[in-house]
Structure 1
Amino acid sequence: MEVRQDTAYEARLADIIAAVRDTLRRRWLVLTIVTALIVVAGVVVVYQMTPLYSSQARIRIDPSRDPLSKAADARTELSAEAIETEVTAMYSLDLARQVVRKLNLMNDPEFAGALLNSDNAKVLNSAQRETTVANAVLSKLGVYREGQTYVLGVSYVSRDPVKAAAIANMFAELYISGRVGDKTGTATQQAQWFERRLAEMGEEVRKADAAVAQYRAQSGLLQSTASGVGTIADQQVAPLAGSLAAADSEAAAARANYSSARAQVARGGLESVSEVLNSGVIADLKRQRTEVMRNKGEIEARYGSRHPESIKIREQLESIDVAIAAEARRVLGSLQAASASADARAASLRKTLNELDGKRALDARNTVAIEGLEREAAGKRAQYDSLSQQALASVQASRNSMSQAAIIDRAEPARAPSSPNKPLLIALALVAGLAAGASTITVQELMSGGLRTSDEVESQLGIPLLAAVPRETAPNPADLLIERPTSYFAEAYRIARAALLGNKEGLSQIIAITSSVPSEGKTTTALAFARTLAIAGSKTLLIECDVRRAAMRRLVKQEPTRGGIVEVLQGSATLADTMTQGDVPNLDHLLAQTPYYTSENLFGSGTMEQLLKEVRGRYQHIVLDLPPLIGLADSRALAVMADMTLMVVKWEDTPGKVAAQALSMLQGDGANPVGVILTMVDSSADVVGGKYYSRKYSDYYQAA
């Protein structure tokens, strides 16, 4: 299945190629003429064009060369939009006016036409005239970016190469100088503004710092809590809290000692108090008492209780007891005093800590306020620092004329014109000529309704194609049957004879040959077909029935007679007087001597039927050269009298609808149209075997 589809596709493609080749073979002359005319016209126009010269200057826009850029900005890049903006800026009308003034282009003849062509040129003032010339200058300016680089090309086209280079260079120079001047002037204005603004900002920063310092002094704050140092109260709270804790502990211990001492006194007297017992003074007094007690016993034992020594020692013992009691009371009082003192100290520390807590709450509120003042002061300082840096850059820019743009190539006068590109334009003219020629022959093909192939003949007319007769340039192509009987022209009529007669020799005695319209080769075909029949050995009579033209007499070599077909039908002459011998054996002629115009029914009065009946017995074939069918009545009446009718159709000329209409007339009248002969066919057309004629059949036919 796929093979059959591919084969069908190749066949269709081959048909298209063959059709194109066939069209080119037939219409090569039209194609050549149209192409040649357009190429010649193009060459003439090209060589009349004024040569134009183009010169180009190149500008580099390099942001890395900006003297104001910092090291961190060394990779500064320009966006595509920024570069396109620079390109557009080059087309500035103001820049063009400067070029006009600098180069005095107002008086240049090349731009004088712009003033002459402008409306109301005589009433333009100087500024308007300058603007007109500037627009004319801009119309020939070209600015473009080279690839993805930072290089701009500035080109100008002029009839003078020196002028083109000068204008391109001037545009580049004025662009650079204008850019530097604008930048410097802007930077100077910015520097002055920055200077005024810096003075104002400095004063604001000083006021903000003073407000922070004053508030801090008034509130007693060292600095913001955000710094981690805190206020004076914050610094005092921690050690004071530690002291208070220690004081509370000491007071509790003192109270405990005093309470314990009182409890011990209540249980056993002062001597049972541990502090009293631990007292060194009391311990010494008790040692003394012990010693006195030991002496007392000895003395009383020796002297008795009334002895002065005994009394003395008892007094000494009493004084020691008094001292011990006094010391014990003193120790107890000391414990009481220590407890009271510890309580008082703890109370004092607690009071102080409470006062600091209140101070801290106030400091917290003051801290919030001072932090706001500090933030405000810090913001003003940051603005001041940023503005200071910008001011420094502006001052440097106002004192520095270095630009980011520089001319890297100046325009030079061109040695050869840039336009017109004559070889290219001529090549384009050739292409246009070929296209126009192809379009012309395509239109001819589309507009041509003529029949070309046997398929078209059979599909549109419904009768077969008997033969296709090639076009010949000879004055009388029918003579080729005599002069070159083996040519393809002669062979075509033999093919028609074989296709027409075949096995119908007895049924095709009277053969009418007609056409739809004039100039289809009908008369030549009738003569050539009659000669073909005669050369084949058939006794043949050629009767010219197209009496209004009477063209046959110019195609045959005939001696003058006493009349022709008209006279025979009118009865003024006989067949013997009017019939002549043809140029080939077995052929006789009955022709019209002169064109005959009449309104009478020359062929419909019965005389023509009588004439044909008379000659039937003398000739094997009678060929009738009829008038065209459309527009004339004689042909339709005569076709009915014939045994068969041949339609002559001029190849690729006679519209199929016209031929079909003529055929319908014949069939409607009862005639017997049996086939078509295509005449004046191009020898390269397929219908005459054009694919093979010049090669495979070269040995069969005599070259024409």
Structure 2
Amino acid sequence: MEIRREADEYEARLADVVSVVRDTVRRRWLTLLAVTGVVMVLGFIVVSQMTPKYDATAKIRLDPGRNPLSGSQQPTSATLSDDAIATELTEARSLEVARGIVHSQDLLSDPEFNGVLAKATNATVTNTDTRETIVANELLQHVTVTREKDAYVLDMTVRSIDPIKAARLANSFAKAYIDYRTGKNVGTARQQTAWYQQQLSDLNHDATQAETHAAEYRARAGILEAGADGSGGGTIVDQQIAPLAGMLSSAQSDAATANTNLAEAQAQVARGDFANVSSVLTSPVIQTLRNQRSQLLLAQGEVEKRYGDLHPESIRVRDQVTAVDTQIKAEANRILGSLRATAAASQARVGSLRKSLDELELQRERSVEASAAADGLQHEADAKQALYDKMSQMSLDSMQAADSKMALAEVVVSAEPPAKPVAPNKPLLYALSLIVALLAGAATITALEKLSSGFRSVEDLEQQLGLRVLAVVPKVAKSENPGELMLDRPTSMFAESFRIARTAILGARTDTDVKVIAFTSALPAEGKTTSAVAFARTLAIANARVLLLECDVRRAAVREIVRSNAPKVGLVELLHGEISLDEAIKPGDVPNLDQILVVSPYFSGENLFGEGRMEQLLNAVRDRYDYIVLDLPPLMGLADGRYLAVFADATALVVKWSSTPISAATSAAGWLRSDGSKPVGVIYTQVDPSAHSVGGLYYYSKQYSDYYQR
């Protein structure tokens, strides 16, 4: 339920806003149309005068693999970081590139770009370089360089009023950028080459010194330099130890063999088996002697068999066998002694070699520190030599780059003259001009509404003045005369509003004691006189005897409204006593209506209505008429209105819709109360007939259009 009530309140508020907007537009549609039209025409003129501009784009592909500074060390799949590409974007719009374009394309004489020179002082633009710099900065305002997404492609766009010039400048910019980057790379390479040469000289000196120092230290420490295959390195002691250790091992093996042979021989001798000693058996001398002994034994057997044991020949042969045995034994003893000598010699050699090896080991321990120091010196020398070799290669690459004209980029798409301009977007600007014009018109009428100090609604009027609204009188067209409207169209909205006022003032039964009814306003031109005449006619048409008494002597405007002939005498003459009452009363333009008018505007400092003259006049006419309608002067700035309102039985305050200042109307209502007058309400005049803001009086809306005479 609560939600439904909030929704209804929101819809009501929205409806009020829509009504206010609609009413404002209806009231001020001419202003809205005029302002909108003027602004729209101005906007269309400005847009139509705009110079079309064309964009031409040249595409440049960056190729990091073609970088001449990268040398032979560059990988085959080179890449550029986002920061590097951002740098290229900046350099593509560099002032140096733009200056080259200004010079090559003679933009100093191009009106599109040299206009900026007129804004500079004469002292500034006398120098040619300075002039080119100024025009180059202006040119850069027409150039944009962007990167195509995820690609090494730069879009170089130049905007110009001439499509052919835009394409020419775009292509020139692309070529100038590539030449600039190439020249910059070559210049950098030459600088690097000079730097490398200086560094190489220093490194060569350092590497030579380090190698010399290492060689001298190795020589002093007895450290041998390794060969190209890595062999032969170490100290002299290291190289002596290895063969000496081998010799010791071999000597120990020989000594062990000699000792073994000697021990076996001694053991066989101790067993009496001298002949089976291995060394004896293998001796060639022993073998020869054994062969001789075998032959002698054969001969001895034959001799003894032939001659007997005692034969001299048998004795000689036996002696020869004995001699050979003696030789064999002597040779065996000599071999045995040789074994002993060999074993002793082998043992002595082992001892000698061991002693030498021990001495070398001691020397080796002392040379470890020297060897480590030598290795350190050699490593330092090798590192300097490697650095020298690397920098030598880099220097070679830099020298090659200095002589190379290879560019980092290439033009892949040349700029072509565009067929259509990119700016201004005239259809869009025309639409925006229309929107701006509508906004300007809306702002104007909104400002006029805000600046208006009058009342806009019945609610505001009644709340501010504390008086009820008797009737709402619609505004008539400028082609219509409201004074004639009552007579020509008695059933119109205008005539009906005064019948409503009659009912509001006199009551529905018209049996009140109200006879004198005054109409006044706070300021002139509020519709007071027209309302008084229309109200008097309304009463007369309703068969009441009515007297219209014009009291606004300084304007004397009633004679211009009514259809009767202009009188020759009137109220001023009557109050001066120059004519009688009957002479002053003239018939009106409707039956039952009489009128006492002012012949012409009357200006005087006298108190025309004082000294009882006005009271006497009203007393004289009260019995002759049912109603007396007074057209009083405005209350502000004049004294007569406040003075005469006191004599009326009811006073209606006329307030013009959206015009009468609130302060003026409030003051007027306050004066009527303080003076003892009887203000009964407000006649709300010249209200927009289509405005619903008049409160609950919706009889002026379209729903009631069939009730009134058109």
> What TM-score, normalized to structure 1?
0.79
- Provide the aligned C-alpha RMSD in A: 4.1
Match of 1:83 among 85, 88, 96: 85
CA distance in 2, matches of 1:507, 1:358: 155
CA distance in 1, matches of 2:513, 2:359: 153
Partner of 1:600: 606
Partner of 1:187: 189
- Name the stretch that deviates more: 33-42 or 564-573: 564-573
Match of 2:495 among 469, 490, 494: 490
CA distance in 1, matches of 2:16, 2:75: 71
Distance 1:198 1:72, change over 3 A: closer
What SS is found at the alignment partner of 1:25?
Answer: helix
Q: Contact 1:180–1:401 at 8 Å: present in 2 too?
A: yes
Partner of 1:272: none
Counterpart code for 1:406: E
CA distance in 2, matches of 1:208, 1:35: 92
Q: Contact 1:142–1:155 at 8 Å: present in 2 too?
A: yes
Structure 1, gaps ≥5 residues long: 252-274, 286-326
* 1:501 aligns to 2:506 (yes or no): yes
Distance 1:202 1:668, change over 3 A: same
Match of 1:540 among 542, 546, 550: 546
- Name the stretch that deviates more: 29-38 or 161-170: 161-170
Partner of 2:4: 3
Match of 1:629 among 609, 629, 635: 635
CA distance in 2, matches of 1:536, 1:146: 89
Q: Contact 2:456–2:658 at 8 Å: present in 1 too?
A: yes
CA distance in 1, matches of 2:449, 2:362: 114
Match of 1:99 among 77, 98, 101: 101
Partner of 2:557: 551
* 1:520 aligns to 2:526 (yes or no): yes
Partner of 1:446: 450
Q: Contact 2:521–2:653 at 8 Å: present in 1 too?
A: yes
> What TM-score, normalized to structure 2?
0.79
CA distance in 2, matches of 1:702, 1:222: 136
Partner of 1:166: 168
Offset of residue 490 of structure 1:
1.8
Q: Contact 2:692–2:701 at 8 Å: present in 1 too?
A: no
Structure 2, gaps ≥5 residues long: 256-262, 274-332
- Name the stretch that deviates more: 659-668 or 559-568: 559-568
Counterpart code for 1:453: S
Distance 1:430 1:81, change over 3 A: farther
* 1:702 aligns to 2:703 (yes or no): no
CA distance in 2, matches of 1:191, 1:78: 24
Q: Contact 1:115–1:121 at 8 Å: present in 2 too?
A: no
Q: Contact 2:125–2:131 at 8 Å: present in 1 too?
A: no
* 1:425 aligns to 2:401 (yes or no): no
Offset of residue 217 of structure 1:
4.3
Partner of 2:50: 49
Distance 1:521 1:205, change over 3 A: same
Partner of 1:468: 472
* 1:643 aligns to 2:655 (yes or no): no
CA distance in 2, matches of 1:690, 1:29: 26
* 1:34 aligns to 2:40 (yes or no): no
CA distance in 1, matches of 2:355, 2:681: 144
What SS is found at the alignment partner of 2:646?
Answer: helix
Q: Contact 1:562–1:573 at 8 Å: present in 2 too?
A: no
What SS is found at the alignment partner of 1:506?
Answer: coil
CA distance in 2, matches of 1:371, 1:695: 115
What SS is found at the alignment partner of 1:507?
Answer: coil
Offset of residue 230 of structure 1:
7.0
* 1:680 aligns to 2:686 (yes or no): yes
Offset of residue 662 of structure 1:
1.3
CA distance in 2, matches of 1:236, 1:173: 73
Offset of residue 565 of structure 1:
1.6
CA distance in 2, matches of 1:46, 1:119: 32
Offset of residue 32 of structure 1:
1.4
Offset of residue 553 of structure 1:
0.8
What SS is found at the alignment partner of 2:60?
Answer: strand
Q: Contact 1:450–1:653 at 8 Å: present in 2 too?
A: yes
Q: Contact 1:468–1:687 at 8 Å: present in 2 too?
A: no
**What's the CA shift string for 1:341-389, capped at 9, x where partnerless?**
98x9998788667645543443232133223213322322342343234
What SS is found at the alignment partner of 2:432?
Answer: helix
Q: How many pairs were matched up?
A: 639
Match of 1:390 among 379, 388, 394: 394
Q: Contact 2:523–2:636 at 8 Å: present in 1 too?
A: yes
Q: Contact 2:456–2:657 at 8 Å: present in 1 too?
A: yes
Counterpart code for 1:492: S
Partner of 2:677: 671
